[in-house]
Amino acid sequence: TTSSGKLPDVFQTWGGGVLQQQVDAGLVEDLTDVFGWSSEITPVSLQAYQFEDRTYGVPYDVGMVGFWYNKKLFAKAGITAPPATWAELLEDVKKLKAAGVTPIALAGKEKWPGHYY
């Protein structure tokens, strides 16, 4: 526990930038050489836990973050189908902006759910 001055052996954290800060601070162990079963996990699921070809975390679940879209606003911008790739999403954002449509809106002000986007 933190009150004892000892760090936990296992804990939950976000991958990506938060984990990078923990790695940089020397607070997490490099698991690369002891994580022998990593080849059984979908490679993309490990990416948020890897820095400079080293693995610092293990994914334990998978979630999905999605978007709702307005067909009428898509039609106004000349978009006939939802984007299937990142490049298509970026192009559709440009088309929506050009049509005077705010491309993405998110409720919640600065609360944590916005970090997904």
Instruction: Specify the pLDDT at position 92.
Output: 97
What's the predicted TM-score (pTM) here?
0.55
Instruction: Specify the pLDDT at position 1.
Output: 47
User: Percentages helix, strand, coil for the chain, rounded to the nearest 5?
Assistant: 40, 5, 55
- Residue 12's alpha-carbon distances to 58, 101, 106, in angstroms, are 10, 39, 26
- Residue 77's alpha-carbon distances to 64, 87, 98, 101, 106, in angstroms, are 27, 17, 7, 8, 20
- In angstroms, the CA 57 to CA 30 distance is 8
The domain segmentation of the chain, as residue ranges, is: 2-55, 71-111
Written as tens digits, the pLDDT of the chain (117 aa) is: 456 777 778 888 777 778 889 899 998 899 989 888 877 888 888 888 899 989 888 888 777 777 889 999 999 999 999 999 989 999 999 999 999 999 988 877 776 667 666
- 15 and 48 Cβ atoms separated by less than 8 Å: yes
Per-residue exposure over 41-76, b if at least 16 CB sit within 10 Å of its own CB, e if not: eeeeebebbbbeeebbbeeeeeeeeeeeeeeeebee
Instruction: Specify the pLDDT at position 90.
Output: 96
